[in-house]
Structures are given as C-alpha cells and as structure tokens.
Amino acid sequence: MPAPTAPRAPATAGAYAESSIRVLKGLEPVRQRPGMYTRTDHPLHIVQEVIDNAADEALAGFGRSLRLTLHADGSVSVEDDGRGIPHGLHPEENAPVLELVFTRLHAGGKFDKGQGGAYRFSGGLHGVGVSVTNALARRLEVCSQRDGQQARMVFADGAVLEPLQLRPLASGERRSGTTVRVWPDGRYFDSPVLPRPELLHLLRSKAVLLPGLSVTLHDEATGQSQHWQYQGGLRDYLLQSLGSEPLIPLFEGSGSADASHESFAEGEGADWAVAFSEDGALLRESYVNLIPTSAGGTHDSGLRDGLYQAVRGFIELHALLPKGVRLLPEDVFARASYVLSARVLDPQFQGQIKERLNSRDALRLVSAFVRPALELWLNQHVEHGRKLAELVIRAAQTRQRASLKVEKRKGSGVAVLPGKLTDCESRDLARNELFLVEGDSAGGSAKMGRDKECQAVLPLRGKVLNTWEVERERLFANNEIHDIAVAIGVDPHGVQDGSPGDKVLSGAGPSQAASAPSGGSAARTAGERGGSDVLSGLRYGKVCILADADVDGSHIQVLLLTLFLRHFPALIEAGHVYVARPPLYRVDVPARGKKPATKAYALDEGELEAILDKCAKDGVARARCSISRFKGLGEMNAEQLWDTTLNPDTRRLLPVRLGAFDAAATAERMTQLMGKGEAAARRALLERWGDAVAIDV
C-alpha cells in the first residue's frame, strides 16, 4: 500500500501562492487516502460494496440469486439477477449513468428514500461504495442487462478504459441483472488475498437475512462451489451456529411499522432471534438493511433495552426478585445469543465501512417491537419465563458479589471526596463514569439527568490551570485540580521532578517516554512506578470531559486534556479518558398528520443540514422547523442532557488516544501549543494552518 502523500513544501520562501492549492478531482481523494473510505488490510470491503448492491436488489424484491466467483487470475466477479444498473444518459450530467456510478463519488440511486425512490430500504447511502471499488482496482468490468440490451464498460485505475458498448440480448440470455468483475490493486492493501472465513460468513449472512435468496460461491482454482439458501431465516442460522442447547426455546419475532404509525416510517422495523444458554460460546450478530454491523450500535441497544424491560416486568409481576438484588440490563444480556436484522429508512453509520449504527431512533424502533412481543411470550410460557428469571437473577447476584470484593480491596484510607462531587451508588469500576462538567448550572442539570447508579458529576468553576509546565508538587495549590485528582482516586504521576521546561512526556511504560533534552532530569514514568499501582485507586472506568460546544468549551477541553496527558498519562494509556460531544443545535419538527412533533439534535452545521434534508423528504418544509442554537450546556435541561450526552445508548463519546504522532512528537507539539515560551512557534502554526480551521465565534 503506498504511503500517504505528504504536503509539498514550497521551494523558496514566498512561493506559497494561488497555484500552490491543489484540488483533488474525481476518484483522486480515494486513491490518495484509501483508509478514509475502506479497510486497507485486505480488499474484502471493496468487494462487499458490490455484494451489498446485489443484496439491495433482492431486498427491494427484484433479485432471487447472487453468485460470486473467485477467478484464477485473482479477480472477483459478483453476478445478480436484479433490475440492472441503468445505462442511458443522465439528464443533467450528459454522461452514461453506468459511468457516473463507477467514477463519481456521491452518485447513486439510494439518496431518495421516499415512496417513489428506487430503493426504500438499502445499505447504500452515500453513492460512494462501488466508486471506491473502482478507484482501488487495477481493472473493473461491468455488464448490465435491462430493456432488451446489454451495456458493457471497462475501467482501469479508476478511469474509463473502454467506453459504453451496447448490444441486443439474444433469446437465451438473462433478461436483467448486473455482473461486476474487479481486479483489486495490491498497492492499496496490506494483503491482496480475501480472508476466506470472513467472505463465507458475509455470503451466508445474505442468505440468512433474505430467506429464499440463492447465494453461490465458486472457486475457479479448486473447481469447488458452495451454496446457501435458508427458508427458515434467522432461526435456522442461530440454532445451527450455537455451541450449546438453549435453556428455553428460541424467542423470535418480527415487527414493522405501518403507514399509520406515529413515530416510524412505513416498513421500518426488525427481525430477531434470541437464545439464552447457561454455558458455551455466544453468537451475537446484527445487521442494518443487510449490512453487517460488527461493532453493534443503537439497534443492538434497542434489542437489549427491549429484552431487559420485558424480563424485568415479568420478574416484578411474579415477585421473583430476592431482597437486596437489583437487576441491570447486562444481567439479562449476559447469556443471550442473538441475530438481529433491522430495517431503517435513513440509517446513520459511523464511518464509510458502516461497522456501527449511530441512528438514535433505532433504539426506540427495535425496543418498541421487541418488548411487547417478549412480554406476551413470557406470560404465555410462564415456566420458560421462570427459568429465564433464575438465569438472570444468578447473573445479577454474581455481579454484585464481584462488586463487593472490589470495594473491600480498596481499604479505608481514602481521601475525603470533594464536597461538590455528586457520586454514584455503584462501586463497579467497569460501569462507573465521572463527568467533569463546565459550570455550576450545567452541573446541576447533569446531576438531575444522570443515572445515579453509575454516573457521577463534578462541576468545574472557570477554566482549569494550564499545567503543561507546572511541577507535580504545585498542582494541588489549584482547587479544581485537587478535586479532580481526589475524585478519580489517582495521584499525579507523569510530571518531572526537575525543571518546569523539561519536555519529557511520561507515559504508562518505557515506550511512552520521550527523550529529555540535555540538562533535564530523568522522568519518573508510570511504568517505573508500576502501571497497576498508579491506577490501583481508580474509582471510575470512564472519565468524561463535558464542556460547551463553543470556543470556550474547546479551550476547557484542551486544558483538561493537557492535565491528563502531562500529569495522568496512565489514564490515557489505559483508555479511561473520553470527551463528550454535546450538540450545538436543536431542531423542533412540528407534528404532521398522525405523527407527533419531534426534536432532533445536531453536533454541527453538517448534521443540521442532514436533519433539515431528512425533514424535507418527510414532507416538512425547512421554514416550519424551529432551529435553536445552544449557547452552552447551562441552557439544557436535565432531560436534554440525558438524551444527548449522558445516555450510553444515544450519546457520543470520543476516546482519547495518541494520534498520528508518537509520545515524543506529541510532547513536542504540546510544548509548542501550551508552553509559556513558545509564542513564536504558536504564531508559526497559526500562520500555516489557521485558514484550514473553521472557528465558531
């Protein structure tokens, strides 16, 4: 895979001019930065983009077969019997549609999700997929059969090699469908070989999720073929894949919204199969519009919420819960295997490879269908319900015993906690979260809106001290820093015992320490003190920075990140520090027909435009939507803070890690940004990169 192209330095001072600005056109952005668009460890994802297009045809009801061939020359072809990609001239672009689909980013047939759209439910969203496949292929051939003609085009290195050729279909030929053959370019991937187990799983999952679809894999090198076709769908797949016998019969179901539904679009819903077992390996797979979501997302959270609410209700109804035992969602989910297939009209994924679903409404969508179905099933099969209740209660008792053991190991010599800290009830480190909240008013809303079982709140007054060049012994002179250290239960461990100007970044191990300049004292790193000892008193698994979504809030974020990086590096190394992302805008969408008024939140201008576009597609004019801009967290009430920044199922948390720089380069850059004697270096950075940043003032 070629190394990313570095910015070209000007030959001489003053050579930076209009001609220095380079505009990437066509598929150049993909070829320059392939990692932004696809996985680069192997080419399976660019092949999956073609497979997903074929599956979308079947999902729309126009295809019944999908065939993938591994050719002896290393190429891969995908063939379907769908409608075939249109190949006439585009009315506005004056170019063949077949060419636009494979050579233009954001050109596709899946933007319009209305009743008149070509695809109402699909995995394709952005018109990016197969154009990325073409960009990262040495050669790509596509044949589309429709309207009595076969259209053929050939591309090389993302550009047209053989222009559109049309011929009439013979009497014995397939009347409609698409065949795409691709030769992945090994320069863009760590390995040119498709991982066989992942490919088999992907193809089999398409047959599982689309009962009746015939899926075939043929390998020319060995001459062997494999075929999948499931009439029983999710149930058959889950039973075949489980390593042990389920404790109770499978809970399976399906639900879809009709045209009169108040909250969801017609056809939105989910299919699921859930098995509970006492031992053995678990199987957990989820999909959105046939796209595998290996990292889960809000639809998984909806299944978990529906299961938990139904099981808890059954246990309370039959008075089965022993005294002193408190149920949590993870107790119900601990021994659950499932396959979930959700249908979402306009899904929002995390990244182009779509490993995680972020759509907030998907949680309510799945839960709304799962919960009543399970409640009915449990009360119709009370004996099975009692067995499930026993399994769940045992999981809760095991969890609580483990929590008590952790509490005893902490001992009694703990510093007095800050008075303004509103602590949580749980002592389970894996679940506990501390939110460092900007301002007392926002802190008050956070205290009312939090989950008091596992979420603690520490309000901060004003801006924290810049600690990049502050010695460890002087840190506790600042009240805010003293309260943070005592609240999290970890002492500062990463600053030098020598001069404040020492540029050594101490980390959680030898690999994290940068070299000190001559004259500086040696760093006493967390690794030298023992990483486990440094964090032995840690009281929260997540330490979350929650500040306003404006410039001042960003400044407070930077100051807190500076504190953690310089004086608490083991927290970052172990993955305990996060940044919460509150929204900047709220959109009030008025009621339309039987659908009630709703609220949506946007992090920035881009998300705001996406929300307004979706409203327009749903028939709500932009002018009817009321847009409010939050001046700060203090303007949010407890319910809004919970929905947008505290609820684990709908919030957005960014984990803090070292980025493209190693520890030494990170320390050097932070010294430029936060050092007292680095004004000239900061000015140089601003002059070079200042125009590349959009500032919200």
11 class by beta-carbon count within 10 Å (0-12 exposed, 13-18 middle, 19+ buried): exposed
Is residue 132 domain-resident? yes
pLDDT of amino acid 245: 86
Task: Find residue 202's DSSP bridge partners.
Answer: none
Is residue 428 domain-resident? no
pLDDT of amino acid 693: 64
Is residue 59 domain-resident? yes
| CA–CA gap between residue 75 and residue 695 (Å, rounded) | 47
3-class SS of residue 101: helix
- Tell me which of 199, 228, 257 is where a domain ends: 228
Mean pLDDT by 10 residues, the chain (697 residues): 48 61 69 82 91 87 93 95 90 87 69 44 52 92 94 94 93 89 93 92 89 93 92 85 87 92 89 93 90 90 96 96 92 94 86 79 94 96 96 91 54 64 89 91 88 93 85 82 91 58 36 30 36 82 91 88 93 94 90 83 87 86 89 84 90 86 82 83 78 62
pLDDT of amino acid 19: 67
pLDDT of amino acid 450: 93
| CA–CA gap between residue 581 and residue 436 (Å, rounded) | 13
Buried b or exposed e, range 207-221, using 16+ CB within 10 angstroms? bbbbeebbbbbbeee
pLDDT of amino acid 25: 67
CB 571 within 8 A of CB 564: yes
Structural domain boundaries, residue 291: 234-405
- CATH code for the domain of 606: 3.10.20
Residues 187 and 265 in one domain: no
Cβ within 8 Å of residue 413, ≥6 positions away: none
3-class SS of residue 56: helix
Residues marked as binding? 16, 53, 80, 124-130, 354
Residues 252 and 361 in one domain: yes
Is residue 57 domain-resident? yes
Residues 282 and 173 in one domain: no
| CA–CA gap between residue 561 and residue 542 (Å, rounded) | 14
Q: Cα 473 vs. chain centroid, distance in angstroms?
A: 40
Cβ within 8 Å of residue 436, ≥6 positions away: 458, 460, 484, 543, 544, 545, 546, 560
Residues 246 and 382 in one domain: yes
| CA–CA gap between residue 83 and residue 57 (Å, rounded) | 7
Is residue 639 domain-resident? no
| CA–CA gap between residue 633 and residue 612 (Å, rounded) | 23
18 class by beta-carbon count within 10 Å (0-12 exposed, 13-18 middle, 19+ buried): exposed
- Tell me which of 210, 228, 246 is where a domain ends: 228
Residues 367 and 382 in one domain: yes
Residues 673 and 617 in one domain: no
Size of the chain in residues: 697
Is residue 172 domain-resident? yes
Residues 607 and 513 in one domain: no
Is residue 23 domain-resident? no
Residues 243 and 342 in one domain: yes
pLDDT of amino acid 409: 40
Closest CA to 86 of 144, 160, 24, 3: 144
* Cα dihedral value 123, 125, 127, 131, nearest 10: -40
- CATH code for the domain of 347: 3.30.230.10
Q: What amino acid positions are annotated as catalytic residues?
A: 438, 548, 550, 552
Residues 332 and 390 in one domain: yes
- Tell me which of 176, 210, 228 is where a domain ends: 228
CB 341 within 8 A of CB 116: no
Tokens of 467: 């600690």
498 class by beta-carbon count within 10 Å (0-12 exposed, 13-18 middle, 19+ buried): middle
How many independent structural domains does the chain possess? Answer: 4
CB 356 within 8 A of CB 132: no
Residues 238 and 353 in one domain: yes
pLDDT of amino acid 412: 45
- CATH code for the domain of 200: 3.30.565.10
Is residue 9 domain-resident? no
| CA–CA gap between residue 341 and residue 255 (Å, rounded) | 11
Residues 572 and 514 in one domain: yes
Residues 190 and 300 in one domain: no
